[in-house]
């Protein structure tokens, strides 16, 4: 894909992640594509319209996301992960779509993972570093792509799609 590209419905995109090769595709709601549920990612929007990002090291930033615990549904995973990773209480959530990744080379070859993507209206609590997340920051919508380093992010077309579906736009 070209720089600035946005994932299209059902179009596989090659992605290198964790030393493996995957083909990843975007799927609109409401039904998830076939595969193993692999968690939820949130475009967390504050009351002021800013976007919440998290980092394991204070250098590389991402949208908060995480894997499900046994018995959790898509939205339950979203709510718990936003609480754990971003110290954010989800006030309202809207399903944006799903990513479906199929491992084509590497130890997980043949494995198909599905992740849900959400717009989450959140209320932030005081920051407390927990689990694998060391830092949180809140950025204006027009600073999100740069803060996420989307020019070099392996999942950039999917993050751009999430931001577009979440109606995250630069302020006038």
Tell me, what DSSP letter sits at residue 9? B
Residues 6+ apart with CB under 8 A from 84: 66, 130, 131, 133
Q: How far apart are CA 113 and CA 4, in angstroms?
A: 25
- Model pTM? 0.94
- Report percent pLDDT > 70 for the chain: 96
Per the CB < 8 A criterion, the answer to whether 65 and 37 are in contact is no
Give the separation between CA 11 and CA 161, rounded to whole angstroms: 12
Cβ–Cβ contacts within 10 Å for residue 1, how many?
A: 14
What's the rounded Cα separation, in Å, for the pair 95 and 167? 12
CA distance 22 to 4: 20
Q: Which segment of 28-32, 55-59, 131-135, 150-154 scores lowest on mean pLDDT?
A: 150-154
Please provide the average confidence, as pLDDT, over all residues in the chain: 94
The pLDDT of residue 158 is above 60: yes
Q: Taking the CA atoms of 105, 107, 110 and 111 in sequence, report the sign of the dihedral they define.
A: negative
What b/e sequence results for 87-103 when a residue is b if at least 16 CB atoms lie within 10 Å of its CB, and e otherwise?
Answer: bbebeebebbbbbbbbb
Q: Please report the pLDDT score of residue 102 as a whole number.
A: 98
Q: Is 158 in a helix, a strand, or coil?
A: helix
Residue 171 clears pLDDT 80, i.e. is over it: no
Domains contained in the chain, CATH given: 13-165 (3.90.79.10)
At 147, is the secondary structure helix, strand, or coil? helix
């Amino acid at each position: 894909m070209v720089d600035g590209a946005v994932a299209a419905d059902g179009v596989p995109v090659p992605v290198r992640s964790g030393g493996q090769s995957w083909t990843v595709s975007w799927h609109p709601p409401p039904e998830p594509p076939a595969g193993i549920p692999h968690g939820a990612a949130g475009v967390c929007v504050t009351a002021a319209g800013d976007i919440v990002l998290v980092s394991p090291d204070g250098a590389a930033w991402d949208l908060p996301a995480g894997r499900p615990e046994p018995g959790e549904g898509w939205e339950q995973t979203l709510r718990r992960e936003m609480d754990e990773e971003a110290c954010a209480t989800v006030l309202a959530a809207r399903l944006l779509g799903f990513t479906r990744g199929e491992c084509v080379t590497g130890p997980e070859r043949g494995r198909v993972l599905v992740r849900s993507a959400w717009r989450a209206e959140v209320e932030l609590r005081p920051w407390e570093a927990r689990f694998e997340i060391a830092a949180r920051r809140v950025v204006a919508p027009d600073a999100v792509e740069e803060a996420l380093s989307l020019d070099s992010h392996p999942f950039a077309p999917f993050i751009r799609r999430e931001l577009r579906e979440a109606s995250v736009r630069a302020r006038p």
